[in-house]
Structure 1
Amino acid sequence: MTEQPLIEFNHVSKIYKNGTVGLKDINLTIPQGEFLVVVGLSGAGKSTLLRTINRMHDITSGDILIEGQSIIHLQGKKLRQLRRSIGMIFQNFNLVKRSSVQRNVLSGRIGYYGTWRSILGLFSKEDKQKAAHALKRVGLAEKLYTRADQLSGGQQQRVAIARAFMQDPKIILADEPIASLDPLTTESVMNDLKKLNEEFNMTVIVNLHSVPLAQKYADRIIGLRAGELVYDQPIANVTDADLAAIYEQPKVVQLADRVVAS
């Protein structure tokens, strides 16, 4: 892992149209090759943070830089190139269930093809070989021609990881990737993400609710609460008490004529 910044958040805020604060004045630097885990209660802003990196969500104010270049105004071809370099793994897998595993994995190469070749599935022999290799990496080589809806949840998530690998990304974003998985499958999926991080120096940013998993896999943990960055420490400095504090709900004190949070 190098110390050169790959991703920089400079005073980033996100306010949704209904007035909900998604992010509040976030300042954050993420180096190349880091395995960063983001923790916090539901609604803390974890998903919003991830989705601003690939511009699935636009920010309200501030700036986001990747490799020193601002991404907040990218459009057209430049935005597609940005998204091509960022693999996204979702909680619900986001596969085309009626398509084969091979076709789902090959969809990770769509950003490298023209529209019609992508629609018609005219992928090169080299990319088909790459898809087979990606599936072998996640232990699913024998599932190449199986329909996605015939796989278990854990297998589907590993297909999603193989699809992200096909993009040759610099960054992997994983939004609660193990939320619906059993403990054994959870470990397999997290191990796959860690391998991509260690073997290919990919920057991996994962949203997790599980404190033990965060402590096991992270190089660094950040904590969000109500859209604010409230914690940022390398794993060597992280304590159980720190993490418990991130998840504490504000205490509500009843006064004579009003209720205040403390």
Structure 2
Amino acid sequence: MTVAQKEPIIQFTQVNKVYENGTVGLKDIDLTIYPGEFVVVIGLSGAGKSTLMRSVNRLHDITSGDIQIGGRSITQAKGKELLSMRREIGMIFQNFNLVKRATVLRNVLTGRVGYYPTWKMLLGMFSAADKQKAYESLQRVELADKVYARADELSGGQQQRVSIARALTQEPRIILADEPIASLDPQTTHRVMDDLKKINEELGITVLINLHSVELAKEYGSRIVGIRAGHKVFDGPVASADDETIAAIYSGADTEKVGA
């Protein structure tokens, strides 16, 4: 089945975000992402990349418009429906968001919290099946030997791979990665990006990722979305993102070029 024949997994329709201080985060965003894509969002710091990313799972509420996940509006969702939709969306953060004093296994198991009552989660009452899921996720990022290590005993790259395993344990259809390599060295950066690409290709999980590096965007992405001052100024396959286009995304030149 071609992308054109698939139903969108993420759909932005005329999405706007204006913060309380009047700052425009997003302006008239229309964006359609299909299952299995690896979409890289690029742009200057403060352009709106993180706002776009965090609006997908409602870490940020939008001001107007609609965002649909698999044909359902997450913008309108409440209560159990919102919880159910968020289970389908794994999130990887720049600063890892791990409990540093907890074991790697316990951190990865938090990917299952949406499936448990709060009291069971606090007591660590995870099922054997979920512990097996967590272990298999650690195997996928080659950290199974660290299962009982404390998170703060690991390197930054290892901690980020633990956060990838946590997202995988959630069994998501979508993984959002918000500048996941910003604090990593070049070698570790490629390891983390390799893991995300492998997960995308082998498991068919849709990846939406913010990156500062244009080179990495072109190396790993199947599609690039350019954001400038809250506007979508480019959207197209990696091959169509030539030097002139990239320069326009970052410089604010009038040579805006929107891909197919």
What letter corresponds to residue 218 of structure 2 in structure 1?
Answer: Q
Runs of 4+ aligned structure 1 residues displaced above 4 Å come to none
Matched, 1:216 2:234: no
Determine if the alignment matches structure 1 residue 227 to structure 2 residue 230: yes
Contact (CA 8 Å) 2:221, 2:238: kept in 1 or not?
A: yes
- Is the deviation greater in 95-104 or in 68-77? 68-77
TM-aligned CA deviation for residue 238 of structure 1: 1.8
Hey, what does 1:236 align to over in structure 2? 239
If the length of structure 1 is used for normalisation, what is the TM-score? 0.93
What is the percent sequence identity of the aligned residues? 64
Question: Could you tell me which residue of structure 1 aligns to residue 257 of structure 2?
Answer: none
- Counterpart position of 2:45: 42
Query: Which stretches in structure 2 are left out of the alignment for 5+ residues?
Result: 255-260
Q: Distance in 1 between matches of 2:74 and 2:137?
A: 29
Q: Tell me the distance in 1 between the aligned counterparts of 2:162 and 2:81.
A: 27
Give the counterpart letter for 1:34 in structure 2: E
Aligned equivalents of 1:10, 1:126: Cα separation in 2: 39
* Cα separation, 2, equivalents of 1:140 and 1:95: 15
**Equivalent position amino acid for 1:97 in 2:** K
Match of 1:258 in 2: none
Residue from 70, 73, 79 that aligns with 1:76: 79
* Structure 1 match to 2:104: 101
Question: What residue ranges of structure 1 are gaps of 5+ in the alignment?
Answer: 252-262
Select which of 241, 245, 249 maps to 1:246.
249
Shift of 1:249: 4.8
Q: Tell me, in whole angstroms, the C-alpha distance in 2 between the residues paired with 1:68 and 1:35.
A: 19
> Aligned ranges for residues 62-141 of structure 1 at < 5 Å?
62-141=65-144
Deviations 1:173-228 (A, max 9, x none): 00000000000000010011111111111110000000100000111001000000
RMSD of equivalent CA atoms: 1.2
SS at match of 1:105: helix
Task: Kindly indicate whether residue 23 of structure 2 is the aligned counterpart of residue 8 of structure 1.
Answer: no
Match in the other structure for 2:166:
163
Q: Deviations over 1:40-59 (max 9, x none)?
A: 00000000001111011111
- The one of 62, 70, 88 equivalent to 1:59 is 62
The CA deviation string for residues 216-255 of structure 1, in whole angstroms up to 9 with x for no partner, is 011100100000000011112221221122111569xxxx
**What SS class does the counterpart of residue 180 from structure 1 fall into?**
coil
SS of the residue corresponding to residue 193 of structure 2 reads helix
**How far does the alpha carbon of each residue in 1:47-106 deviate from its partner, in whole angstroms, 9 at most, with x for none?**
000111101111111111111221112111111111111000000000000100000000
Q: State how far apart, in whole Å, the 2-side matches of 1:194 and 1:55 are.
A: 25
User: CA–CA distance in 2 between the matches of 1:248 and 1:177?
Assistant: 24
Task: Answer with 114-123 or 13-22: which moved more.
Answer: 114-123
> For the pair shown, which has the larger CA radius of gyration, 1 or 2?
1
Secondary structure at the residue paired with 2:167?
Answer: helix
TM-score (norm 2): 0.94
Cα pair 2:228 2:252 within 8 Å, conserved: no
Q: Which of 183, 205, 210 in structure 1 is aligned with 2:208?
A: 205
